[in-house]
Amino acid sequence: MNRDTAAALAYHDATKHSLLRLRTNRHTLDWENKPHPFKVYPTIEPLPLPRELPPSRVPALAAIAQSEVPVGDQPHVPDLAALARVLHFSSGITRKKVYPGAQDQYFRAAACTGALYHVDLYVVCGELPGLAAGVYHFGPHNFALHELRAGDYRGVLVEATSAEASVAHAPVIIACASTYWRNSWKYQSRAYRHCFWDAGTILANLLAVAAAGDLPTRVVCGFVDDTVSRLLGLDPAREGPLALVSLGYEPRTIAAHAEVPPLSVETLPLSAHEVDYPLIRDMQAASLLPSPEDVRAWRGNAVSTIADRPPSGQTFALRPLGERAQPTESIDAVILRRGSTREFAPVPISFEQLSTILDCATQEMVTDYGVLPTDLYLIVNAVAGLPPCTYVYHRGGALEALRAGTFRSEAGFLGLGQELAADASANIYFLSNLEPILARFGNRGYRIAQLDAAITAGKMYLAAYALRLGATGLTFLDDDVTDFFAPHAAGKSVMFLLAVGRGKKA
């Protein structure tokens, strides 16, 4: 079904926001049935992770921008403390808000739509210093690993990824998976988009923290879904694997094997009852890769470079801060300080700050799908040194002016009437022309279009906070955004929206 790309286009159209759909949607939040934010295995004894984590002194911006850790002949194998550090700063709890008489609210290291935290991390590893080989679930609620399988099952993922080289040499593979109901409770069928938005912000953290720890990584989106689900004990009707990340490097090649005994492990119910949204299950099923041969063929469509449309209007070369002018705060400290900005101050940011955010976040990532032609469009309303205007970003490091003017009311409208979008210094929209992406990758191209944009946006999120600015992800009116940036954006679809400015509490 992956090649029948009508499925992805139909899902995307069916989950677009428009004023009419928002006004006629009668969905209300059933607070008594709100899902529990953690996946809990009541019969598995937790393996506590060390809480004294080795600090990183690598500046945040350097960690965010580093696209690849060089691999020579020497192994890069994390010990238990290094693994705990990656897990904590990717998906761990960083703060708690107490509400008298109500459920406490836990906030995680990475931003998530609605603070519903539906994406879990799983660890598949060989023998590590301090940790036995096995398949584990990471529990943020108790900062522990929960052993699902004992023994080295990395070969199953080597088989599932059709011997993807980074997986075949990885001491650790981290898998992201979503429990749909934990997000669809609020966002209904659109939650499938959020699977990749929220996995993307987690992976932005993970990639930066791993780079700071000198651990090579590679984002892997080509795998046999059923094999990964079976390995992790996922329920395909309620959960789905989203992406794998190879972590570390060892010279020995892991042999592929495909034997995966059945796994039946009890988890606590999320809420009194769950509501099924068939569009989510249908879109996941339509983008499955059923065999290693299909994965190999799929990965053969990856490209390492894309042609940038040459500018036709006035351009402004980026002016990123020089290394000496960049803040030296570590990636750990920035992640711990990061939040979702709730109010922007009416003070402009500088063009140097915006340039630094764009420059360090758009360095090419190491993935198995290559480079995606995601285009960045901006509404700039308050950036000192850059005229108020709409812009498109060129990969060579320049902004091309499209339409002059201040567009605060338009930015607010496009962001569902939210004042955050209207007050931001700049709104950054990630747009993709889905048809050529789907032609290359099938329906699975829809997954990676969403994920790729979200990882880049997550890096921008971190970069903004490293510069002591504020940022927040926002939802949007899909077709209105495309129309606003027309004719340049004609035929493109919005994947993500990030608002950046100076937070009032920054």
- Over residues 186-212, mean pLDDT: 98
Write down the residue that tokens 């990885």 correspond to: 170
What's this model's pTM, rounded to 2 decimal places? 0.97
What single-letter amino acid sits at 416?
Answer: L
Name the pLDDT band for 1 (thresholds 50, 70, 90).
confident
- Max alpha carbon distance in the chain (Å)? 63
pLDDT digit string, tens, across residues 107-153? 999 999 999 999 999 999 999 999 999 999 999 999 999 999 999 99
Strands (E), 4-83: 47-48
Nearest Cα neighbor of 188 from 416, 32, 6, 28 is 28
Peptide bond into 487 cis (omega under 30): yes
pLDDT at 202 over 70: yes
DSSP 331-345: HHHHHHH------B-
DSSP string for 217-282:
EEEE--S-HHHHHHHHT--TTTEEEEEEEEESB-SSPPPP-------------SSS-----HHHHH
177 CB burial (10 A radius; 0-12, 13-18, 19+): buried
Say what the pLDDT of residue 506 is: 46
Q: The tokens of 159 are what?
A: 């088989």
Asked whether 119 and 111 are in contact (CB, 8 A), the reply is no
Mean pLDDT of all residues in 239-268:
94
Ramachandran region, residue 502 (left: φ > 0; alpha: ψ -120 to 50; beta: rest): beta
Instruction: Tell me 476's DSSP state.
Output: -
Name the pLDDT band for 96 (thresholds 50, 70, 90): confident
In terms of Cβ atoms closer than 10 Å to its own Cβ (0-12, 13-18, 19+), residue 385 is: middle
CB 160 within 8 A of CB 224: yes
Q: Which helix (H) or strand (E) holds 439?
A: helix 434-441
C-alpha to C-alpha distance for 118 and 196, rounded to whole angstroms: 11
Decide if pLDDT at 289 tops 50.
yes
Is pLDDT of 472 > 60?
yes
* pLDDT interval class at 303 (50, 70, 90): confident
Task: With cut-offs at 50, 70 and 90, classify the pLDDT of residue 308.
Answer: confident
Contact predicate 415/458, CB 8 Å: no
pLDDT in tens, 461-471: 999 999 999 99
Which tens digits make up the pLDDT trace of 311-331?
889 999 999 999 899 999 999
Q: Which residue has the higher pLDDT, 306 or 86?
A: 86
Contact in structure between 338 and 190 (CB atoms under 8 Å): no
Alpha-carbon distances, residue 8 vs 110, 163, 248, 280, 283 (angstroms) = 27, 27, 34, 11, 7
pLDDT score of 73: 79
- 431 pLDDT tier (thresholds 50, 70, 90): very high
Neighbour-count burial of 140, counting CB atoms closer than 10 A to its CB (0-12 exposed, 13-18 middle, 19+ buried): buried
- 3-state secondary structure at position 99: coil
- The CA-atom distances, in angstroms, between 369 and each of 176, 221, 235, 392, 437 are 17, 7, 26, 24, 11
Residue 305: what pLDDT? 77
What pLDDT is stored for residue 454 in this prediction? 98
Give the HSE-up count for residue 21: Cα atoms under 13 Å, Cβ half-sphere. Answer: 14
Model confidence at 97, in pLDDT bands (50, 70, 90)?
confident
> Hey, what domains does the chain have and what are their CATH numbers?
67-258+267-299 (3.40.109.10), 315-501 (3.40.109.10)
pLDDT over 90 (residue 74): no
Alpha helices, DSSP H only, in 180-224? 181-187, 191-212
